[in-house]
Amino acid sequence: HAKHAFLDGLCFYDAGIGALVRKRRQLAEALRHALEHDELDVHYQAQMSLSTGKVQGYEALLRWTHPQLGPISPSEFIPVAEENGLIGSLGVWVLRRACMDAAAWDPPCRVAVNVSAVQFMDASLPRLVHEVLLETGLPPQRLELELTETALIKDKARSLHIIRQIKALGVGLALDDFGSGYSSLETLRSFPFDKIKLDRGFVDGIEQDRQSKAIVRAVLALGKSLDIPVLAEGIETDEQMSVLRLEGCDEGQGYLLGRPTPVGDLAHKSGPAPMVPPRQHRVA
């Protein structure tokens, strides 16, 4: 009897996994279809200098609206694309689209494009980036690639080789979600990043807990001594914003400063009107 119950449980468990696998497979199929039928779009979120309030660039964020299922989050479909061999074509599509859009913006406005771990390990990435830059006419200085540490730590020598080729093109590199992984400091030490993107988890806690604030401070000090600008992700409130400016954070991004927006609706490119007053200096 007990054995029966166990088997029942097992069957139920298997059905659960089966359903999940089926769902992922369906999602992969739908994504393949989406790529071919123009269901994908790129939205842009402003990255702002916290001292001048000027837009420095925009991060390209993939958007997928399925005709029946509605909008599906990239956190959900990017892993599916990685597992099903679709990330390559998806990645090129976003890169080409983002560079094409950015080529029309007022210089020196940049575009930042996310590169997934799987996409990054493809040795042809530098050549691909080079081709897209030539094709779209975007100057390399106006493109930045965002990488997370998971993309890099699996094979350091290989990663470094790819990174050096990308940097040789003149393209910038940002370390995304800094602090949320296992070896952020090691990653920072091993690879020549041009920007640190402080994970929004720390920004989120900055008003409430001492720990988050202390960590933000330490990361900003680290950035200063390494001479790497720090961008704070996920700024949602005025209070978070004023703490970050007071602490000397270089750049910010978040719903408070601007939501991800379709390219046609971007209010201004590198527009001259500062949105925030100049940074207040801390009184020692």
Which residues between 78 and 137 bind Mg ion (CB under 5 A)? 114
Q: Please report whether residue 176 would count as binding Mg ion according to CB under 5 A.
A: yes
Verify binding: residue 177, Mg ion, rule CB under 5 A.
Answer: yes
CB of 87 to Mg ion, least distance (A): 15
* Shortest spacing between CB 224 and Mg ion, in angstroms: 21
Question: Is 138 or 203 the residue whose CB approaches Mg ion more closely?
Answer: 203
Residue number with CB closer to ligand C2E (88 or 139): 88
Q: How near is the Cβ of 2 to Mg ion at its closest, in Å?
A: 45
Answer yes or no whether residue 176 interacts with ligand C2E by CB under 6 A: yes
Residue 13 or 124: the one with the smaller Cβ distance to ligand C2E is 124
Q: Please give the radius of gyration of the chain, using alpha carbons only, rounded to the nearest integer.
A: 21
Contacts of 15 (CB under 8 A, 6+ apart): none
Q: Min. distance of Cβ 245 from ligand C2E in angstroms?
A: 16
Unique residue bearing structure tokens 């390990």: 121
Distance CA 268, CA 55 (A): 8
Are 184 and 215 contacting, i.e. CB atoms less than 8 angstroms apart?
no
Tell me how far apart the alpha carbons of residues 149 and 189 are, in angstroms, rounded to a whole number: 12
Residue 30: partners with Cβ closer than 8 Å, 6 or more residues away: 66, 69
User: Residue 153 corresponds to which tokens in the numbers above?
Assistant: 């730590």
Report the nearest approach of ligand C2E to the CB of residue 283 (Å). Answer: 29
Contact letters for ligand C2E, residues 61-80 (x by CB under 6 A): xx----------xxx--x--
Closest CA to 44 of 274, 213, 258: 258
- Contact of residue 111 among Mg ion, ligand C2E, none (CB under 5-8 Å per partner type): none
105 vs 107: CA distance, rounded Å:
6
**Cis status of the peptide bond prior to 108, with omega within 30 of 0:** yes
CB of 166 to ligand C2E, least distance (A): 15
Chain position carrying tokens 């730590």: 153
| Helical ranges in 149-253 per DSSP H | 156-168, 184-190, 200-204, 210-226, 238-246
Query: Given the complex with Mg ion, which of 197 and 279 has the nearer CB atom?
Result: 197
Contact flags string 227-256 toward Mg ion, x per CB under 5 A: ------x-----------------------
Q: Which residues of this chain interact with Mg ion, rule CB under 5 A? A: 114, 146, 176-177, 233
Give the binding site for ligand C2E (CB under 6 A).
Answer: 45, 60-62, 73-75, 78, 94, 114-116, 146, 176-177, 234-236, 254-255, 260
